[in-house]
Amino acid sequence: MRYAQIIGTGAYLPEIEITNDMLREQLAHVPGYVDRMEANTSIRKRWYAPDHWATSDLALKACEKALADAGRKPEDVDLIILGTDSPDYITPATSVVLQHKLGAKRAGSFDVGCACASFPAGLAIASGLLATNGNLRTILVVGVYMMHKLADPKDPTVFFYGDGAGAAVLEPSDKPGFLSCAFLADGSYAKHWGVFAGGTAEPANEEALAAGRTKVKMMERYPPEVNEEGWPKLVREVAAAGGFKVSEIGQVIFTQVRKQTIDKVMAALGLDRERSHCIMEEQGYTGSACVAMALNDARRLGKIEPGSIVMLVGSGVGYNQAGVAFRWQS
């Protein structure tokens, strides 16, 4: 039997600090908004890449760190799976741009496009490919986010968007490794939040540009139940599929958008709060990257012990949700 095992992780947080005080000036036309969001989410700052960078540049930094952590080189990589909803281009795929920048000349590549659920989805896909394809050995999975460049700087939702990237290197092992995965979706929410012009539903044109439809917008707020009920359901489903109890989870890492939601979900699951690592307070909401970045940070802080069960749960617009569990080997 071949099981996928995570043998290295890495993350990259860019250097331009954007504090809440800076956003209070930027969003002065929405009095009190930053104060409310700070209290509601616990986000105090976020970080931006230089203006001339693209999403693939962020991904490159995280991948280099993950490969170094795993003791691998770009030429060892067989496949790159990249998850984002802030791509370099509509087409070609950002993963193939990254493949060239990384110098992973042997690697194939593809993108995963389920927003902030993309990293756990990518890990599940990589695990299945490693289990069933003996010609694949080293797979690089990366989640990356640069949504602030697709936002109107006067739109209040810029409060959330921070740039960042996180990556993991997976290889086969004769013991798990990968345990199980599960997915949830509800496309009735597809019009709530997104970039609604620039694709085939509405190609970019002067009218769309003038109306701001080529920028990311929240059209309607998601009800809290999407995550407060969806995350516990997903955790229980992943645990049942993997043959372990929820109480056995060592760390469960959720999308890093609202700390109070994580508090409620952990209480609903009957898990101690310290078993869910958070980074959004100092890093902002890094979307497709946040689960990978939080995983790397938890490892760095010694919160993930060999032999423990680690679950990753991502939740993105659409909505899409994905969960994956591993027994940590390294």
Please say whether the dihedral angle defined by the alpha carbons of residues 146, 149, 151 and 155, taken in this order, is positive or negative.
positive
Give residue 1's pLDDT. 87
CB 147 within 8 A of CB 158: no
Cβ–Cβ under 8 Å, residues 166 and 288: no
Query: How much is the average pLDDT of 59-75?
Result: 98
Q: How confident is the model at residue 299 (pLDDT cuts 50, 70, 90)?
A: very high
First to last CA, the chain: 19
Whether residue 70 has pLDDT greater than 90: yes
pLDDT in tens, 84-128: 999 999 999 999 999 999 999 999 999 999 999 999 999 999 999
Distance, CA of 283 to chain centre: 13
pLDDT of residue 174: 94
Q: Tell me, what's the pLDDT at 326? A: 98
Residue whose token pair is 């003038």: 210
Q: Band of the pLDDT at 330, cuts 50, 70, 90?
A: confident
Domains and CATH numbers, the chain: 3-174 (3.40.47.10), 179-187+221-327 (3.40.47.10)
